[in-house]
Amino acid sequence: MEAMETARRTTIATLLLALAIVAFATATATLVNKTEWIVKAEYPPVVKVAGNDVATGLVTVSSNGTRKTSDGVNWTTITVVGFKGDPTTYTSVLKICNKGTRSVTVTLKYKGVLGGGWDYVKYIKLLYPSSNQEITIQGGTPSGSISFPLSGGSEEAPSCSGDIGVEVLVTPDAPTNQVLIAIQVDVESQLSTSQTTP
């Protein structure tokens, strides 16, 4: 009987010890430090500017550089004509300009198809001739990269990149006067932490 009582006490003590350990393990202390996040608006320091090829009438850059979508994002629409069966190259479609005082690193990134498809377009090459960089997009798969630094500038004297060009190859059987494909290419600009004195 005494052995049973001792076993019962040991079991109760073990259970109480286990509960204490579990309670201690799950106990947490919460501290709250308040922060305030303020959002201000400025014009973007990095802008896209039409290149010299717009003078041919075969390249257009959307008026005033951008269109605004319902989600509040600015888009620049660039349209180029590809001649059926002939690789068509434009060497001055776009320039990227920095109106801010901080230097930036600009990277072009292919994001995907927005409309149409690859049925009549064999490839699209984005070109940065001043440093022999290019991105080739064939059937939706990109290869290569374009990335370059831009020093700080000012509103009156922006610092602009070399020309950004494009080469396209449209198939001989492509229909004319219609959009064959629309792709998204993001122009990402990473700001430097130090400012340039104008």
Report the Cα–Cα distance between both ends of the chain, in Å, rounded: 94
- Quick one: pLDDT at residue 28? 73
Distance CA 191, CA 85 (A): 41
Residue 170 in any domain: the answer is: yes
pTM for the predicted model, two decimal places? 0.76
Please, what is the average pLDDT of the chain?
A: 87
pLDDT interval class at 5 (50, 70, 90): confident
Residue 139 in any domain: the answer is: yes
* Domain range for 61: 46-195
Asked if residue 68 has pLDDT above 70, the reply is no
Least confident of 46-55, 57-66, 90-99, 104-113: 57-66
Asked if residue 196 has pLDDT above 60, the reply is no
For residue 66, which amino acid is it? T
- Quick one: pLDDT at residue 170? 98
Asked if residue 195 has pLDDT above 70, the reply is no
pLDDT interval class at 62 (50, 70, 90): confident
- Quick one: pLDDT at residue 155? 84
Residue 88 in any domain: the answer is: yes
Write the DSSP symbol of residue 101.
S
Residue 40 tokens, joined? 């201000």
Residue 180 in any domain: the answer is: yes
Count how many domains the chain has. 1
Q: What angle do CA 155, 159, 165 make, to 5 degrees?
A: 120
Write the DSSP symbol of residue 156.
S
Asked if residue 65 has pLDDT above 70, the reply is no
Residue 153 in any domain: the answer is: yes
